[in-house]
């Protein structure tokens, strides 16, 4: 019996997920302790329950059927994204919320990540699809670019970044050549460099060029890719000018956070102070002054890691980072052992989504990365994300138990 469980039941993913959900509930409770903790905590608890159901459904869903409904699901989701672009109401400067029920909100873009990964995996798993075929490659990119564009138009920069970055490990895993990856990465580097002024832009162009040159298969393709990189870099500068002020402010603050501790850099500064003041053992649960006195805006959503860092200290925060790392390694492992190509690619996609969220969210909380508003999986307050993330863990568990099927 135990052997059978070990063989087919992915208890690792489940335990890590449940551990993170519990820590998340504790953190949300603390973060909202004096601003309606009971209400926020209760809501999140309900969402966790729904998430558990989603997890179970995803874990036991027949693999073949899942593969078959991936594309229809994807198209439905695109439609939803399109609808909220038109009628959705604005929350925190973005239109991504739609009312699902009174007191609850749904964020379709969270689910769009899952459906996009599944659709991409289903596409790449098809016979006769090869990433060395440029047509196929463009189609694959297009599958991600469509929802990404809709999310970006909301505008939700953070989530669209996740879409883009998730694509890289998936293509890599699916066998894209180094040149393809370089050709995708190069514009990204140039685009990022474009935000930091001319000098950095030039350096980023040199790096992009070197990358393309090293991975080149023929000179013509490399030259085209570089021209594209240049064009994208230049247009990013132009787009930056037109970004909403709050996005611009976040980017410029990242470049020099110390300049504006009371203004745009406030979050990062307070967040670093919260985490740093936690020390080795933390200030104790519900004892964090930064948290309890509400020094960090949105500490229950994007900045939940501060609560952790301040109240549970180095010990607590490193356990959480360790759990996430365990989950990511497990995801790579599941992808590696899956005989089913769809399951294998989807595993990497799910792992990529988790990885990008963790890196960006924890990185920005500790002042390493720009403040891009994306939640920390399982911990941040927010129902849709929790349900979607738990569903993805369920998918991993599904893939694990079916790993030996073709």
Q: Residue 316: CB partners within 8 Å, gap ≥ 6? A: 23, 282, 308, 309
- Is 272 a binding residue for another protein by CB under 8 A? The answer is yes
Q: Point out which span in 85-93, 105-113, 322-330, 385-393 binds another protein (CB under 8 A).
A: 322-330
| CB 175 to another protein: min, Å | 3
DSSP β-ladder status, 104-106 and 94-101: antiparallel
Q: Beta-carbon neighbour count of residue 66 at 10 Å?
A: 21
User: Contact with another protein (CB under 8 A): which of 17, 78, 151, 362?
Assistant: 362
| CB 62 to another protein: min, Å | 22
Read off the tokens for 7: 């063989």
User: Contact with another protein (CB under 8 A): which of 8, 75, 103, 132?
Assistant: 132
Q: Which is nearer to another protein, 252 or 291 (CB)?
A: 291
User: Contact with another protein (CB under 8 A): which of 146, 151, 275, 372?
Assistant: 275
| CB 19 to another protein: min, Å | 16
Q: Point out which span in 92-100, 191-199, 246-254, 309-317 binds another protein (CB under 8 A).
A: 309-317
List the interface residues with another protein, window 204-233 (CB under 8 A). Answer: none
| CB 191 to another protein: min, Å | 21
Cα(6)–Cα(378) distance, rounded to whole angstroms?
A: 25
- Is 235 a binding residue for another protein by CB under 8 A? The answer is no
- Is 32 a binding residue for another protein by CB under 8 A? The answer is no
Q: Residue 122: CB partners within 8 Å, gap ≥ 6? A: 67, 70, 71, 342
Q: Which is nearer to another protein, 147 or 355 (CB)?
A: 355
Read off the tokens for 195: 């935000």
| CB 284 to another protein: min, Å | 14
Q: Point out which span in 69-77, 138-146, 251-259, 361-369 binds another protein (CB under 8 A).
A: 361-369
Cα(352)–Cα(339) distance, rounded to whole angstroms?
A: 19
180 Cα distance to chain centroid: 22
Q: Which is nearer to another protein, 52 or 362 (CB)?
A: 362
Cα(222)–Cα(227) distance, rounded to whole angstroms?
A: 9
Q: Judging by beta carbons within 10 Å of its beta carbon (0-12, 13-18, 19+), is residue 332 exposed, middle or buried?
A: middle
| CB 367 to another protein: min, Å | 8
User: Contact with another protein (CB under 8 A): which of 127, 135, 241, 242?
Assistant: 127
Cα(386)–Cα(378) distance, rounded to whole angstroms?
A: 5
Assign 3-state DSSP to the chain and report helix, strand, coil percentages, each to 5. 75, 5, 25
Q: Point out which span in 129-137, 146-154, 182-190, 233-241 binds another protein (CB under 8 A).
A: 129-137
- Is 340 a binding residue for another protein by CB under 8 A? The answer is no
- Is 378 a binding residue for another protein by CB under 8 A? The answer is no
- Is 348 a binding residue for another protein by CB under 8 A? The answer is yes
Cα(306)–Cα(86) distance, rounded to whole angstroms?
A: 35
Size of the site for another protein (CB under 8 A): 55
- Is 289 a binding residue for another protein by CB under 8 A? The answer is yes
User: Contact with another protein (CB under 8 A): which of 158, 187, 257, 309?
Assistant: 309
Q: Judging by beta carbons within 10 Å of its beta carbon (0-12, 13-18, 19+), is residue 5 exposed, middle or buried?
A: exposed
> What distances in angstroms separate CA 369 from CA 151, 297, 333, 356, 361, one per listed residue?
21, 18, 28, 12, 8
Helix 383-401 vs helix 37-60: crossing angle, to nearest 10: 30
| CB 3 to another protein: min, Å | 26
- Is 243 a binding residue for another protein by CB under 8 A? The answer is no
Q: Which is nearer to another protein, 93 or 279 (CB)?
A: 279
Contact 379, 362 (CB under 8 A): no
Cα(37)–Cα(66) distance, rounded to whole angstroms?
A: 38
User: What is the binding site for another protein (CB under 8 A)?
Assistant: 124-125, 127-132, 169, 172-177, 270, 272-280, 289-290, 293-295, 309-310, 313-314, 317-318, 321-322, 325, 328-329, 332, 335-336, 341, 344, 348, 351, 355, 358-359, 362-363, 366, 368
């Amino acid at each position: 019996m135990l052997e059978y469980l070990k063989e087919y039941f992915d208890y690792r993913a489940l335990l890590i997920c449940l551990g993170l959900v519990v820590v998340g509930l504790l953190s949300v409770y603390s973060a909202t302790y004096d601003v309606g903790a009971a209400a926020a905590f209760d809501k999140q608890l309900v969402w966790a329950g729904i998430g558990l159901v989603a997890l179970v459904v995803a874990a036991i869903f027949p693999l073949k059927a899942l593969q078959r409904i991936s594309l229809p699901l994807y198209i439905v989701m695109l439609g939803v994204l399109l609808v909220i672009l038109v009628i959705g109401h604005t929350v925190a400067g973005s239109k991504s919320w739609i009312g699902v029920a009174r007191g609850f909100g749904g964020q379709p873009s969270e689910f769009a990540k899952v459906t996009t990964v599944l659709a991409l995996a289903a596409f790449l798993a098809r016979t006769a699809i090869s990433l060395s075929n440029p047509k196929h490659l463009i189609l694959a990119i297009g599958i991600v670019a469509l929802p990404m564009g809709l999310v970006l138009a909301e505008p939700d920069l953070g989530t669209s970044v996740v879409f883009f970055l998730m694509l890289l490990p998936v293509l890599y895993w699916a066998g894209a050549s180094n040149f393809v990856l370089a050709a995708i990465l190069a514009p990204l580097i140039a685009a990022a460099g474009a935000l930091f002024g001319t000098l950095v832009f030039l350096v980023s162009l040199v790096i992009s060029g070197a990358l393309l040159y090293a991975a080149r298969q023929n000179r013509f393709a490399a030259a085209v890719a570089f021209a594209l990189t240049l064009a994208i870099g230049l247009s990013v500068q132009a787009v930056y000018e037109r970004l909403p002020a709050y996005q611009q402010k976040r980017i410029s603050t990242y470049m020099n956070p110390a300049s504006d501790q009371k203004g745009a850099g406030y979050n990062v500064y307070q967040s670093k102070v919260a985490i740093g003041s936690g020390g080795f053992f933390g200030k104790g649960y519900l004892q964090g002054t930064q948290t309890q006195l509400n020094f960090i805006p949105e500490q229950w959503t994007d900045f939940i890691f501060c609560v952790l860092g301040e109240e549970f200290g180095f010990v607590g925060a490193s356990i959480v980072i360790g759990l996430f790392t365990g989950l990511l390694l497990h995801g790579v492992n599941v992808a590696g052992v899956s005989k089913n190509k769809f399951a294998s690619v989807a595993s990497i996609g799910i792992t990529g989504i988790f990885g990008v969220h963790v890196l960006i969210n924890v990185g920005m909380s500790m002042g390493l990365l720009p403040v891009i508003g994306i939640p920390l999986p399982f911990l941040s307050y927010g129902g849709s994300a929790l349900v979607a993330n738990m569903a993805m863990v369920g998918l991993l568990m599904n893939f694990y138990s079916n790993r030996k099927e073709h």
